[in-house]
């Protein structure tokens, strides 16, 4: 069986290696154009600096939809549309956290998305620390009821920390807690709290929840571990309004021979209200969009359609990805691949890919066309939240990968602003998506067939 498997891999690898040669010239043109491009950064500046944050339901989000659709038309994209989608509308309002015992000090915090409010006067309560969910259970109702639970869990990985952000409030409320605070789900920088969504468990009391800046979180940790009683006052005006009628944005470069077959590329247009969502995810919208603009400028119209989708509501609901799946209906069978960029715009290294064995060999060959900019590495396992509804049904999934050196410092914080985008790295992201999507759309046969 091992010999047979090796022979199968070799049979895929040989034609796959030949696959890249017809596209080498076009790939180099796209790379050269991307590395000199100014239009992408101009769009980034407009979206981040002029429109600003784009939380679902906000004025900024609706402005972004209108601007993007109008600009796509000016860029000459085809079939530009703004399909409607109802999105959540959570508003942060004013918020604060103050330590009142053993002394008074303002604590850096941000409410978690979807949190309920406190009473107007806030909640004043003692703080009890939990090292993890098991420790919380061991504390029991006697030590938790009437207090604010502090999940004192240092950031090791987003996957680990996001579990406390997502379900920590309900876990605390089950034991009678009146609130939840946590160390931020991100790398500690300058007492900067990170926000993000929580999920309340049905049938469990909803308590207000917030994330703390790292230095202040460590202060609370030292006091509590030293046996000092800590009392805080938490004030939050957060509210969830009725769902908002909005839209997402679609534009295409129609295929010259097989326009019904589609490669989807894009990211999410919404952002959190901290910062302006430059890395998360303005870059993931603008880079794919600009990749198609460059194809048009170079006269490179592939066999298949490349569809740019700026998805709605990734951050706190995934309504956009689900609405797109519902919109295309049976046409999902014509979706050849989906590429999502939602990991920031640091220097790209390649793509994570979820596809069959033959497709992986083909994509590895395509990736070699990106070796000149260091973005040719293809690894197994890729995709994204917005394309999840279609890729779970078998559409090959691609996720652009970067070095990720500082992304978790900026993610969901007030620091996610345009100045964190390195133009040279951003242009390489445009190049990587341009080459990959163009070849997938130009190949004579569908990927993996």
Residues serving a catalytic function are 314
**Which three-class secondary structure string do you get for the chain?**
CHHHHHHHHHHHHHHHHHHCHHHHHHHHHHHHHHHHCCHHHHHHHHHHHHHCCCCCCCHHHHHHHHHHHHHHHHCCCEEEECCEEEEEEEECCCEEEEEEECCCEEECEEECECCCCCCCCCEEEEEEEECCHHHHHHHHHHHHCCCEEEECCCCCCHHHHHHHHHHHHHHHHCCCCCEEEEECCCCCCCCCCCCCECCCCCCCCCCCEEEECHHHHHHHHHHHHCCCCCEEEEEECCEEEEEEEEECEEEEECCCCEEEEEEEEEEECCCCCCCCCHHHHHHHHHHHHHHHHHHHHHCCCCCEEEEEEEECCCCCCCHHHHHHHHHHHHHHHHEEEEEECCCCCCCEEEEEEECCHHHHHHHHHHHHCCHHHCCCEEEECCCCCCCHHHHCCCCCEEEEEECCCCHHHHCCCCCCCHHHCCHHHHHHHHHHHHHHHHHHHHCCCCCCC
Give the dihedral of Cα atoms 27, 28, 30, 36; nearest 10 deg: 160
Q: What span, in angstroms and rounded, lies between the C-alpha atoms of 207 and 241?
A: 17
Q: 56: which 2 tokens?
A: 């679902």
Dihedral sign of CA atoms 104, 106, 108, 109 in order: positive
């Amino acid at each position: 069986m091992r010999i047979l498997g090796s022979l199968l891999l070799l049979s895929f690898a040989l034609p796959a290696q030949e696959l890249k040669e017809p596209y080498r010239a076009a790939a180099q043109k796209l790379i050269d154009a991307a590395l000199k491009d100014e239009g992408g950064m101009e769009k980034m500046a407009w979206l981040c600096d002029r429109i600003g944050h784009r939380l679902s339901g906000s004025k900024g989000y609706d402005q972004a939809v209108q601007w993007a659709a109008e600009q796509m038309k000016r860029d000459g994209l085809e079939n530009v549309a703004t399909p409607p989608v109802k999105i959540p509308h959570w508003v942060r309002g004013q918020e604060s956290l103050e330590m009142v015992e053993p002394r008074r000090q303002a604590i850096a915090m941000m409410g978690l998305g979807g949190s309920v409010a406190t009473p107007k006067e806030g909640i004043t309560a003692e703080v009890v620390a939990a090292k993890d969910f098991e420790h919380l259970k061991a504390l029991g109702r006697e030590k938790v009821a009437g207090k604010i639970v502090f999940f004192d869990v240092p950031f090791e990985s987003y996957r680990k920390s996001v579990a406390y952000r997502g379900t920590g409030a309900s876990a605390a409320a089950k034991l009678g807690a009146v609130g939840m605070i946590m160390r931020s789900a991100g790398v500690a920088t300058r007492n900067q709290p990170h926000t993000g969504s929580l999920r309340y468990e049905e049938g469990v009391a909803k308590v207000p929840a917030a994330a703390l800046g790292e230095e202040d979180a460590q202060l609370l940790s030292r006091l509590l571990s030293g046996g000092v009683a800590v009392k805080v006052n938490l004030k939050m005006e957060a509210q969830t309004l009725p769902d908002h009628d909005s839209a997402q944005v679609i534009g295409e470069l129609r295929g010259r021979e097989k326009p019904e077959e589609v490669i989807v590329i894009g990211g999410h247009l919404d952002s959190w209200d901290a910062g302006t969502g430059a890395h998360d995810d303005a870059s993931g919208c603008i880079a794919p969009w600009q990749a198609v603009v460059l194809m048009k400028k170079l006269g490179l119209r592939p066999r298949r359609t490349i569809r740019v989708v700026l998805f709605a509501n990734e951050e706190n609901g995934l309504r956009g990805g689900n609405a797109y799946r519902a919109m295309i209906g049976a046409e999902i069978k014509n979706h050849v691949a989906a590429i999502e960029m939602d990991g920031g715009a640091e220097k790209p290294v390649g793509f994570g890919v979820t596809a069959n064995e033959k497709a992986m060999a083909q994509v590895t060959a395509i990736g070699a066309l990106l070796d000149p900019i260091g973005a040719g590495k293809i690894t197994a396992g890729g995709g994204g939240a917005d394309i999840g509804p279609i890729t779970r049904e078998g559409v090959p999934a691609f996720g652009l990968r970067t070095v990720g050196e500082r992304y978790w410092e900026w993610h969901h914080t007030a620091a996610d602003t345009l100045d964190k985008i390195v133009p040279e790295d951003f242009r390489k992201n445009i190049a990587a998506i341009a080459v990959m999507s163009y070849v997938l759309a130009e190949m004579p046969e569908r990927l993996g067939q």
